[in-house]
Amino acid sequence: MFTTAQQFIDEYSQESAVTQGLLAVLTDASLAQVQAEGLHDLGRIAWHITSSRCYLLGQTGFEMPDQGHGFPGNLTADMIRANYDMLLERILQQAATKTEADLQVVYRFFDKLDVSLSQMMRMLISHEVHHRGQLSVLMRQAGLPIPGIYGPNAEATAEMLKQMEQG
């Protein structure tokens, strides 16, 4: 759990930069990539990453736009990136106003889960990381280059090994 808002801001700034790196590679054509019939496509997962933050933090007193739970359709990669960036700025600005006491306030989610703001901030990051994994698999299947996430990607690793072998 976070004990200060700055801890969340620091970690979420790092994690969101990784997400932005993935979103930067998306193309409009790639948004239709699916792993299997009946599963969400890349566009829906990318939209979910950006829009779900409104629901999660909106339940804890953050002023977030209502983006619904559905997929608006006709989205472009640029629209997804712009929405992600706009909401990120909003989240970081509002997080900066939260006190240590605010982080301990408990909220009820889904009519059964009691979670402090601090816990929800952790869940928000974990949720984004989880879906980022799905996003990277679909991006690879769509033939998009995958930026390094927590280290070099497969291509960068192969290049490093090649350079090491060459001396």
- Structural domains in the chain? 5-166 (1.20.120.450)
Which residue from 19, 22, 45, 17 is spatially nearest to 145, judged by alpha carbons? 22
Which residue from 14, 5, 10 is spatially nearest to 132, judged by alpha carbons? 14
What backbone phi and psi angles, to 5 degrees, belong to 51?
Answer: -80, -30
> Can you tell me the distance from the alpha carbon of 63 to that of 57, in angstroms, rounded to the nearest whole number?
8
C-alpha neighbours within 13 Å on the C-beta side of residue 99: 3
Say what the pLDDT of residue 68 is.
66
Say what the pLDDT of residue 133 is.
94
- In the chain, alpha helices (H): 5-25, 42-58, 77-95, 100-104, 117-141, 154-166
> Can you tell me the distance from the alpha carbon of 60 to that of 70, in angstroms, rounded to the nearest whole number?
21
Q: Hey, how many other C-beta atoms are within 10 angstroms of the C-beta on 110?
A: 7
Per-residue pLDDT tens listing for the chain (167 residues)? 899 999 999 999 999 999 999 999 999 999 999 888 888 899 999 999 999 999 999 999 999 998 766 677 789 999 999 999 999 999 999 999 999 999 999 999 888 999 999 999 999 999 999 999 999 999 999 999 999 898 888 888 888 898 889 87
pTM: 0.91
What backbone phi and psi angles, to 5 degrees, belong to 58?
Answer: -60, -25
Say what the pLDDT of residue 69 is.
67
Say what the pLDDT of residue 124 is.
97
CA 71 to chain centre: 16
